[in-house]
Amino acid sequence: MKKYRFEEGADVTADIREKYAYDGDLLAIYSGNEGPEVHKWHHYIPLYERYFAPFRGTGVRFLEIGVAKGGSLQMWRRWLGGEAVIFGIDVNPDCARFDGQAGQVRIGSQTDTAFLDFVVDEMGGLDLVLDDGSHRMGHVRKSFEHLFPKLAPGGVYMIEDLHTAYWPKFGGGYGARANFFRYMAKVADDMHHWYHDRGERREGLGAQVSGMHIHDSIAVFEKGPVHWPVHSRVGA
């Protein structure tokens, strides 16, 4: 298997700026981090800007699944602003030490629906979810199916590090039934239930997913009103 690694001591800012033509605030915050470690694939940074930037400077309710070394919560606080409600969850009890630094941290599993409900209630609702948790196919799907319906209209649900969808040790594999990208195809079927007679297999998702996007290792779901499609012919 190929190894993809950025050379130690290389210029993170230049790499992201040159490859992805991105030079926003988040780049400076990420590449200039001197606090707890943040580990991100470089092409994620402009994608965060693309999907999360409209929520900056608001009271956005942001949930990150996976706290790790705590650095990402501090990155989000600096970028999203002081009014943001930021929570992180992790199964590792050591992550509790980050509670109250840049956001609130709660210890529990991303597959424990009662725990997820408790956290969402404490947050007062959800606008953004970033799943950077176990990266296991069953976990990713269970979290998505439980949390996406709880997103406020206009909300965004992002899942990252989905290269694991091709790795058997994470429950995936090339062409595997559990591969999350195959699951997304089924969600697309539900989004298009107007055009076939199979109905919605994942009840409620087709009526809530207004858009899906796939990038390298990232899936994005947008929540918004979905209306029966109408077309017109206008003009001579």
Do residues 204 and 220 lie in contact, with contact meaning Cβ atoms separated by under 8 Å?
Answer: no
Residue identified by tokens 């012919």 is 233
Residue identified by tokens 């790499």 is 15
Do residues 90 and 64 lie in contact, with contact meaning Cβ atoms separated by under 8 Å?
Answer: no
Residue in 39, 42, 43, 135 annotated catalytic: 135
Q: 42 an active-site residue?
A: no
Torsion 8-42-83-205 (CA) sign: negative
Contacts of 49 (CB under 8 A, 6+ apart): 22, 24, 26
Whole-angstrom Cα distance, residue 33 to residue 104?
20
Do residues 106 and 92 lie in contact, with contact meaning Cβ atoms separated by under 8 Å?
Answer: no
Do residues 110 and 118 lie in contact, with contact meaning Cβ atoms separated by under 8 Å?
Answer: no
Please count the other Cβ atoms lying within 10 Å of the Cβ belonging to residue 206: 20
List the end-to-end C-alpha distance of the chain, in Å, as a whole number.
58
Q: Which residues are known catalytic residues?
A: 135
